[in-house]
Structure formats: C-alpha cells, structure tokens
C-alpha cells in the first residue's frame, strides 16, 4: 500500500516535540508499506519556498518551508496553516498513492487531504488529535461568531469526507460521534509508549546543560513539554512555593519552551523559588528525553482544567508510563481516571495546591511507593499503549478502509481501557 501521510508538524527524534507520526510511519514501512510524509519545515530563518526531500528510516519525507512557532500571533499562525494547505494538495496529487492519512492539528490539513482524495479518487482517513474547534473556542483563540461557524463547518466537512477516523482518546471519539459521524467507523489509537526507547539501560543521570549540584540525590518532579497558555505550567510555581514552605527536599525541573516561558521564569524569580527548588531548561531533542525521565522520581502531565481539555492524549503521559515512572496529573478525564484506578501516581485534580504538595512531599520520599506506582504505570502502558501494537492497529484500519470495510474499523481499536 502506498500511504500519503499528511502532517503539518512532523518531527524526527533529532527534533524537539512529539514524534508519533515518525514512529507510526517507520513501523508502517517495516510492515511493507510505502510511506510518503508531506509536512512543513518550520525553520524561521529559511527563505526558500521549494520542497525538500529526505529519507528517515525508509520513510520518504517531503518538507515545505513554512515558518511557524507557538510564539506567533493568531493571524500569523492562520497564514502558515493556509500556505501549507494550498501547497500540500498539489504535492499529494503529484506523489499519487492508495490512501491519504491526514492528521490534525491544525484542522486545516483536512482541506488538502479531502481535495486531493477526491481528485485522485482514493480514500482519506482523518486523525483527530484534539477536539477542534471546541478547544480553541474554549480558550478564546476563536472569538468571533463567524470564525466559530467557519471552524465548526470545517470540522463537519472533514468528518463527512473521511472514510474512517482515528481518535486519540475515548473522549475525542465521543466528540466525533456527537457531530453525527458513525461510531463503527472510528478507531481509538492514542499516543503510545515506546517501551524500547525508554527501556532501562546505562543512562548518564547528568542532565545536559543543568548542574548536577542543583539536584544531587533529591527527589525530582519533572515536567517536559510545551510552555503555552493551555498547559498551565504556572501551577508548578505555586507547587514549588508550597513545597518550600514544607521544607521539602523535592526539586521541580521544567524542560520546554513556549509562549509563557519568559513570564514563568520571571514569576518564579520574583517569588523566590527559581534556582532554589524549581529550575527551567530549554526543550531538548526527543532522543534525549529518556535520560530525563530515568532521572525523575515522578513526572507531570499538566493542563488548565477545561472540560474540553480532558480528552487530550498528551505524549508526556505515555512517556512517563514507558519509563516506569509515577505520574502526577492535575486535571480530570480519562487519564486522571487511570492514574487513580491503577494507583499509577498522584492526582491533584480538585485539590488545593497545598494539599497536593503535602502528598507529593510524603510519597516522593517513599522509595517503596515510587517503585510500586512506577511499576503500575509501566504495566498499564505495556497492556494498552505499546507503540508496536498501536501501529499494527493503524495498519489494520488502513487495510479495512482500502478493502471497503469501513464499518469494521471500530472493532480494531474500540478505546476500552479497563
């Protein structure tokens, strides 16, 4: 099967950010499929507008230079979305193939995907990574009535013209079903655990660019991810203040970049915890992430607590499971439910920061608890979210669609994690 994999923000392990598409694509190649990724090169200094090509572990990657960062304003981001959508349709048609797999966000990738699939008369499978446009509406990114109407119309149009849909969580599946799309044509394939990448090994515990003396043997609470408004990483500053008041040995390490980074660092300095028990480091390549998690005593998955956010499928959550590390989560939803039910860590949802800090201080100094919670996390990761298993499910979905058996897609991955 020749698969055209459309993802505007594709990353390799040498780049920072999520590598779901890379990992899925290379496993599809290993199964014997020919995979062409159509994506963007986000280097803001590159002036060329010509397509570039590379081969990444057998995957053909076609890069269109389109500068982008989450520090750009709303209109600049929209321009980037539109430019990529306009150019990628022609690229898909030029490449030709048997099936288009278009993955959001942004939702605008549906435009070139649908138009190319219709022109080539081949099916498109659409992957829903976030509940758009519900999420940008909830955080105020889409405010005008017209923008909301257009976004909702684009969502319905994308679903209507998809042969099947891959949702990254049960909550996302529900959101798609609520729009009128048939449940039996939706597979739930979340972000996954790379058990090989995070397997225990001889890993230097020194964190590049950070002095070992900052941490020593202290229990380390890690956040590795984006520092944007929706991530709510300011929670960790409040937590550091509460831990300091408890004279807790726990240290907090924040690794990442984003629109809120400067404000967060300044706030931590102003409140007297920066360099004391909370530390900030810039984002690192995905390949270096396992060392961070193996040094951590517990790792955070954080978001501002919006109902629309509870269906998310954050990479950092699954990296935590894969690394045999306990989870700290501060919002509700399906991942909170798993953490509590399977005793995989600590939830701060609907608790005061002070109460959560006391729990963290006590349990992160308890070696037996850390080992048990970490083992529980790994067990759940291996049982439900093994990346090899999920990639195989994706391949099966594609084959069903190609064979015209769209209505059987749900049976491959119904999204039950009990």
Is 145 or 239 the better-scoring residue by pLDDT? 239
What's the mean pLDDT when you consider all of the chain?
Answer: 91
pLDDT band at 61 (very low <50, low <70, confident <90, very high): very high
* C-alpha dist (Å) from residue 36 to 3, 24, 120, 348: 6, 12, 16, 42
Q: Is the dihedral angle over the CA atoms 339, 342, 346, 348 positive or is it negative? A: positive
| Structural domains in the chain plus CATH codes | 2-192+386-412 (3.40.50.2000), 212-384 (3.40.50.2000)
For the entire predicted model, the pTM comes to: 0.90
Helix (H) or strand (E) holding 280: strand 278-281
Residue 283 · residue 204 · CB < 8 Å:
no
pLDDT at 272 (0 to 100): 97
d(CA 408, CA 378): 30
Q: How far apart (Å, rounded) are the C-alpha atoms in residues 195 and 173? A: 25
Say what the pLDDT of residue 40 is: 93
DSSP, residue by residue, 237-250: HHHHHHHHHTT---
pLDDT(383) > 50: yes
pLDDT at 8: 92
More confident residue, 64 or 135: 64
- pLDDT band for position 45 (cuts 50, 70, 90): low
Which residues in 25-130 belong to E strands, given as ranges? 34-41, 52-56, 59-65, 99-103, 124-128
In total, the chain counts a number of residues equal to 418
Question: Could you tell me which residues come within 8 angstroms of residue 28 by beta carbon, excluding any fewer than 6 positions away?
Answer: 3, 35, 391, 394, 395
pLDDT over 70 at 202, yes or no:
no
- What tens digit of pLDDT does each residue of 89-137 get? 999 999 999 999 999 878 889 999 999 999 999 999 999 998 777 777 7
Amino acid 83: pLDDT: 87
In the chain, the N- to C-terminal Cα span, in Å, equals 34
Q: Count of CB atoms within 10 A of residue 319's CB?
A: 28
CA 173, 256, 143, 334 torsion-angle sign:
positive
- Range among 71-85, 201-215, 397-411 rated most confident: 397-411
Q: Quick one: pLDDT at residue 224?
A: 94
Q: What share of the chain is helix, strand, coil (3-state, %, to 5)?
A: 45, 15, 40
Q: How do residues 303-362 score in pLDDT, each as one tens digit?
A: 998 888 899 999 999 999 999 999 999 999 999 999 999 999 999 999 999 999 999 999
């Amino acid at each position: 099967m020749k698969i055209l994999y459309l993802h505007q923000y594709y990353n390799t392990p040498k780049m920072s950010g999520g590598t779901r598409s890379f990992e899925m694509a290379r496993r599809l190649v290993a199964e014997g499929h020919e995979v062409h990724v159509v994506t963007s090169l986000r280097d803001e200094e590159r002036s060329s507008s010509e397509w570039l090509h590379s081969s990444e572990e057998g995957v053909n990657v076609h890069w269109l230079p389109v500068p982008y960062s989450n520090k750009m304003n709303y209109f600049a981001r929209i321009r980037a979305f539109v430019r990529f959508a306009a150019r990628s349709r022609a690229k898909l048609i030029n490449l030709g193939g048997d099936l288009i797999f278009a993955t959001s966000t942004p939702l605008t990738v549906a435009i070139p995907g649908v138009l190319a699939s219709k022109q080539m008369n081949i099916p498109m499978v659409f992957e829903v990574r976030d509940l758009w446009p519900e999420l940008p509406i909830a955080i105020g990114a889409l405010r005008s009535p017209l923008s909301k109407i257009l976004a909702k119309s684009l969502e319905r149009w994308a679903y209507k013209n998809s042969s099947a849909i891959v949702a990254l969580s049960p909550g996302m599946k529900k959101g798609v079903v609520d729009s009128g799309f048939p449940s039996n044509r939706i597979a739930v394939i979340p972000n996954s655990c790379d058990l090989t990448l995070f397997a225990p090994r001889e890993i230097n515990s020194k964190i590049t660019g950070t002095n070992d003396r900052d941490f020593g043997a202290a229990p380390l609470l890690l956040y590795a991810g984006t520092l944007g408004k929706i991530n709510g990483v300011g929670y960790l500053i409040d937590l550091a203040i509460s831990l300091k008041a408890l004279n807790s040995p726990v240290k907090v390490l924040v690794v990442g970049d984003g629109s809120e980074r400067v404000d967060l660092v300044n706030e931590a300095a102003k409140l007297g915890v920066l360099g004391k028990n909370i530390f900030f480091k810039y984002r690192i390549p995905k390949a270096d992430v396992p060392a961070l998690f193996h040094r951590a005593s517990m790792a955070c998955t954080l978001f501002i607590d919006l109902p629309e956010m509870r269906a998310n499928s954050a990479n950092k959550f699954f990296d935590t499971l894969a690394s045999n590390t306990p989870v700290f989560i501060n919002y509700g939803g399906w991942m909170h439910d798993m953490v509590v039910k399977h005793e995989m860590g600590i939830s701060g949802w609907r608790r005061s920061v002070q109460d959560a800090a006391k729990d963290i201080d006590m349990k992160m100094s308890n070696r037996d608890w850390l080992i048990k919670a970490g083992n529980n996390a790994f067990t759940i990761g291996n049982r439900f979210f093994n990346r090899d298993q999920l990639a195989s499910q994706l391949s099966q979905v594609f084959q069903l669609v190609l064979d015209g058996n769209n209505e059987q897609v749900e049976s491959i991955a119904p999204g039950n994690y009990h």
